[in-house]
Chain A
Amino acid sequence: MIKKIIARSSGVLFYMVQYGCLAHCTFEYLADFCVCSGPSMQPTIYSSDIVLTEHISVNYKRVQKGDIVIARSPTKPLEFICKRVVAMEGDHIFNSNAQNIKFVPRGHVWLEGDNKHNSTDSRIYGPVPYALLRSRVFFKVWPLSDMGKMKMPKEEW
């Protein structure tokens, strides 16, 4: 009887570990869902929208100007930010907050929210190391009425 219980529970544990690890690998290296919060990406992404993100373009350095990315916040190490890549390494960019032109150094990107009036981004903390990028947002799944691929904002890029 006891033997049977132990055999059963160890079997369950085995599967839990296996599927947990499979899930970890999928969410860390392939794609995962993100619930966004905060106003910084309006009107592209609103608070509590759910988006699908993929890790492949970040891992293989395929991120381009105009992509929306999830990155670790440089000022709050445990939090994640969702911003648009506005400039890549080697570019010069006009910082509308400090009213000066900034150079984006090697290995860095310049991130800005689409909601220029309410976003804490590179205009405040400067260029962000590429190594902080985690994934690229490519599909919105919720709300259903707005489901679809991520688009460029209306203004010029």
Chain B
Amino acid sequence: MKWRRIVVGTVTFIVPTTIAFFDIVGYVAKVEGASMQPLLNPELSTDKKPESDFVLLNRWKTHGMQFKRGEIVSLSSPTDPDHKLIKRIIALDGDLIKTPGYKSPHVRIPEGYCWVEGDHQKLSMDSNYFGPIPKALLHAKASHIVWPPNRWRKLDVNPTDPDRLISEEQVEAIRDMRLTEID
């Protein structure tokens, strides 16, 4: 009788509340790979025993789909739905940016899309490979490193290098320059 109560209680209360909490509020996830070095997993690929970082992923803040440039986000990979990536938002819709390794040197981000990159450019599979991605793929913001304990810290928002964003005035200037050349 006692066992039955425990089983029923677990199935009808603990399991659904835990899943709902992870879905709505947030959860902790292990970071794999070196794409966000030196911020995350700095010791990976050195001689030391590799110890992965665990980050706190805040899902609550993504329900409104409002993002800022420089935020670290977790997203589903556009090329593999089972795979989750962790990257930094470089540009939002409407921006015109210079790309370091994409097929075209300048990209205008379409509406509803954004541009994400890893901090470690050489080791990152990011928008330079698959282009702008729909914002709907972003599902959480990474807010803290929570494990190992000595690495506990808040993850800062690093605003994008202003040199990479091309402002509307610059676009106008380039257009004017070209026009005068034609004249």
Contact = CB atoms under 8 A, between A and B. Distances in A.
A107 B20 contact: no
B84 to A, nearest CB: 9
Interface string A72-108: 1111111000000000000000000000000001111
A78 B65 contact: yes
A107 B111 CA distance: 22
B94 interface: no
Nearest to A134: B136
B12 A18 contact: yes
B112 A73 contact: yes
A106 B83 CA distance: 13
Contacts, number: 80
A130 B16 contact: no
B23 A24 contact: yes
Contact of A21 (B17, B77, B78): B17
Interface string B7-41: 00000110111011101100000000000000000
A76 B135 CA distance: 8
Contact of A25 (B16, B81, B110): B16
Interface string A117-147: 0000000010011111100000000000000
A45 to B, nearest CB: 21
Interface string B126-140: 000000011111100
A131 B137 contact: yes
A107 B110 contact: no
B99 interface: no
B134 A24 contact: no
Contacts of B52: none
Given A18-B13, A22-B16, A129-B134, 19 more contacts: A18-B16, A21-B21, A24-B16, A24-B20, A24-B24, A25-B15, A61-B81, A73-B136, A74-B112, A77-B134, A77-B135, A105-B79, A107-B80, A108-B79, A129-B78, A129-B133, A130-B81, A131-B81, A131-B137
Interface of B: 12-13, 15-17, 19-21, 23-24, 64-65, 76-81, 110-113, 133-138
26 contacts: A17-B17, A18-B16, A21-B19, A25-B19, A29-B19, A73-B112, A73-B134, A73-B136, A74-B134, A74-B136, A75-B110, A77-B112, A77-B138, A105-B79, A106-B79, A107-B77, A107-B78, A108-B78, A125-B110, A128-B134, A129-B134, A131-B77, A131-B78, A132-B134, A132-B136, A132-B137
